Amino acid sequence: MEQIFIKTDRLILRRFNENDINSFYVYRSNPDVAKFQSWQDYQYEEAQAFVEGQMYHHPNIQGSWFQFAVALAETNELIGDCALHTPAIEPRIVEIGFTLSPNFQGNGFATEAVHGLLKFIFQTLGKHKVTAFSDVRNKKSIAVLERVGMRREAHLLQNYYTKGKWVDEYQYSILKSEWERK
């Protein structure tokens, strides 16, 4: 089996593999999943190139994004993904993102995956601060960020140009010291 980075009660966060391409394509190309994301009309070839690019990539490389495959611990079925951006200039402050297949939403899986990801980032990688950006209209994403204990730190007006218009975003953050107190 491929490398597992994080285990939670019901999930594993592992490296992507070729068997994930179809499931990844199916949820990424779903318009509901893409609504507040940068992509639209996502193609199978893009999913293939993306997964193949991640298969040999490593988390915590400065100046890059790593995508963890989120899978059910019992069956290893792909249900979503979590992203980790380690900036080149200040790698002690990282950014995260997350997506779940609509078939698996509403079960607390995103919250559980992000809890596990925060533990990995603070305990294993020893980072100082984690941030995430969400479109202000993305209520489900905001709910996940608040459930995992991240703090709304900024309201950024017209901060992101996507699908032909500027959108407002919230920045959510949590410091290592805050995470340790929880």
Q: Which residues bind ligand COA (CB under 6 A)?
A: 33, 36-37, 97-100, 105-111, 132, 134, 138, 140-141, 144
DSSP letter at 56 equals: T
Specify the residue, 87 or 108, whose C-beta has the smaller distance to ligand COA.
108
CB of 88 to ligand COA, least distance (A): 21
CB of 140 to ligand COA, least distance (A): 4
Residue nearest ligand COA, CB atom distance? 108
- Report the distance separating Cα 80 and Cα 26, nearest Å: 11
Task: Find, among 143, 153, 52, the residue nearest to 106 by Cα.
Answer: 143
Query: Which strand ranges, in their side-by-side order, compose the sheet holding 11-14?
Result: 4-7, 11-14, 64-72, 78-86, 93-100, 129-135, 165-175, 151-162
Specify the residue, 36 or 122, whose C-beta has the smaller distance to ligand COA.
36
Specify the residue, 140 or 177, whose C-beta has the smaller distance to ligand COA.
140
